[in-house]
């Protein structure tokens, strides 16, 4: 049974990966009690300005590419459940759920519950997991790269049938279930999105199971990635045009382009890199997934570097100033026309 009311496409997504928000009066980290109100405000701005999906990360500690390990991090599905009650139309997802963090049948229950709570607005984002320090801290087995992808492949044999109304019977190497099912189930077309850019394992799983693949790669790599994705779809007997695609990026935007460009240096210095010491090639690699400048600058870059290269959409965060009231709205109002 499907709701028939939700457009499953992901064209313009807003990711919230950072919960360290400065106190506007003192310029230091604000109280933890202010974190979720800011997250909700960003989600509402995204909803009202043309974004189709809001994403949170499925991590327990901050990532080294964004901030310090001990910075605040919300648990993903608790946060998404709260966002479901504070929004009305925008889709909600993780980017992406680490398969290693939950039993697959439990993950299927979590996302179908989110779908019920939100009125059919959930997307299952899933990946193999990669952050070893986080696994160690939380007591989750990390294993090898091969182990994690074998687990993800096996998990999808449980999760995908449960999302479609089935009751899988699996006795696998890593997981088992005996007729597990998801109820309530408000629809049987809840989208599955895989995250990653691996041309063999990730793309092969996407071709078999996913509605959408979100790639974390340099825009210059997009043509090659799409060729590899087409090959995996052909191997799986799938029409490549039925698998949607997007890029994960960073937006540094301000009405003043110089302010936006200064954000890049501030961001790199926060991560321990002085941009003044980088040669042109190294700086280009460090900023490859950034779209920087005025709203019009960013729109032109996304059009030429992402959409014109063949991807269907983009998901991005605004780690420098997304928490500032009005910035997400500005981004949405500027970029949504690219997808109309």
DSSP string for residues in 253-306: E-SSHHHHHHHHHHHHHHTT--GGG--HHHHHHHTTTEEEESHHHHHHHHIIII
Within-domain flag for 318: yes
Q: Which two tokens stand for residue 320?
A: 């420098």
- Rounded CA separation 154/159 (Å): 9
For residue 267, what are the domain limits? 12-339
Examine residue 198 and state whether it is found in any structural domain, yes or no: yes
Q: What is the pLDDT of residues 219-257, one digit of tens each?
A: 999 999 999 999 999 999 999 999 999 999 999 999 999
Q: Mean pLDDT score of the chain, rounded to an integer? A: 94
Instruction: Determine contact, residues 113/105, Cβ cutoff 8 Å.
Output: no
User: Is residue 95 one of the residues assigned to a domain?
Assistant: yes
* Closest C-alpha among 2, 298, 289 to residue 163: 2
Categorize the per-residue pLDDT at 6 as very low, low, confident or very high, splitting at 50, 70 and 90. low
5: in domain: no
> Which of 20-34, 272-286, 315-329 has the lowest average pLDDT?
20-34
**Cβ distance 3 to 120 under 8 Å?**
yes
pLDDT at 124: 98
Q: Judging by DSSP bridges, how do beta strands 212-215 and 176-178 pair with one another?
A: unpaired
What DSSP line would sit under 174-231, residue for residue?
Answer: S-EEES---SS-S-S---EEEE---TTHHHHHHHHH-SEEEE-S-GGGHHHHHHHHHH
| Domain membership flag for residue 83 | yes
Query: What's the whole-number mean pLDDT along residues 151-161?
Result: 98
Give the pLDDT score at 2: 35
pLDDT for 324 beyond 80: yes
Residue with tokens 């991807």: 311
The pLDDT value given to residue 1? 29
pLDDT of residue 24: 54
End-to-end, the C-alpha distance of the chain in Å comes to 29
The CATH number of residue 25's host domain is 3.20.20.30
Domain contains 264: yes
The closest of 155, 85, 70 to 121, measured between CA atoms, is: 85
In a domain, 125, yes or no: yes
Give this prediction's pTM: 0.94
Domain count, the chain: 1
**At 328, is the secondary structure helix, strand, or coil?**
helix
**For residue 324, what are the CA distances in angstroms to 42, 50, 266, 268?**
9, 18, 16, 20
Q: Is residue 4 part of a domain?
A: no
């Amino acid at each position: 049974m499907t709701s028939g009311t939700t457009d499953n496409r992901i064209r313009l997504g807003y990711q919230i990966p950072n919960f360290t928000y400065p106190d506007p009066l003192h310029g230091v980290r604000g109280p933890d009690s202010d974190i979720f109100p800011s997250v909700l405000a960003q989600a509402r701005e995204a909803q009202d300005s043309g974004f189709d999906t809001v994403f949170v990360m499925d991590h327990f500690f901050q990532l080294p590419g964004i901030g310090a390990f001990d910075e605040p991090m919300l648990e993903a599905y608790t946060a998404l459940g709260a966002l479901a009650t504070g929004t009305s139309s925008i889709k909600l997802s993780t980017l992406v759920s680490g398969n290693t963090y939950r039993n697959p049948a439990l993950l299927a229950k979590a996302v179908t519950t989110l779908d019920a709570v939100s009125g059919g607005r959930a997307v299952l984002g899933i990946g193999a997991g990669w952050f070893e320090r986080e696994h160690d801290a939380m007591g989750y087995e990390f294993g090898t790269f091969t182990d994690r992808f074998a687990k993800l492949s096996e998990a999808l044999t449980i999760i995908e049938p449960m999302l479609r109304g089935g009751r899988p019977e699996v006795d696998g190497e890593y997981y088992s279930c005996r007729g597990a099912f998801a109820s309530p189930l408000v629809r049987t077309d809840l989208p599955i999105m895989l995250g990653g850019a691996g041309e063999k394992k990730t793309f092969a799983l996407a071709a078999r199971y996913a509605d959408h693949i979100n790639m974390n790669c340099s825009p210059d790599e997009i043509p090659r990635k799409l060729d590899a994705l087409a090959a995996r779809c052909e191997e799986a007997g799938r029409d490549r045009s039925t698998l949607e695609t997007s890029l994960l990026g960073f937006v540094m935007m301000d009405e003043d382009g110089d302010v936006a460009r200064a954000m890049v240096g501030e961001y790199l210095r926060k991560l321990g890199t002085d941009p003044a010491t980088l040669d042109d090639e190294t700086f280009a690699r460090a900023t490859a997934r950034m779209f920087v400048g005025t709203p019009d600058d960013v729109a032109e870059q996304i059009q030429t570097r992402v959409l014109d290269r063949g991807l269907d959409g983009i998901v991005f965060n605004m780690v420098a100033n997304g928490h500032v009231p009005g910035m997400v709205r500005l981004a949405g109002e500027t970029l949504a026309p690219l997808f109309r």
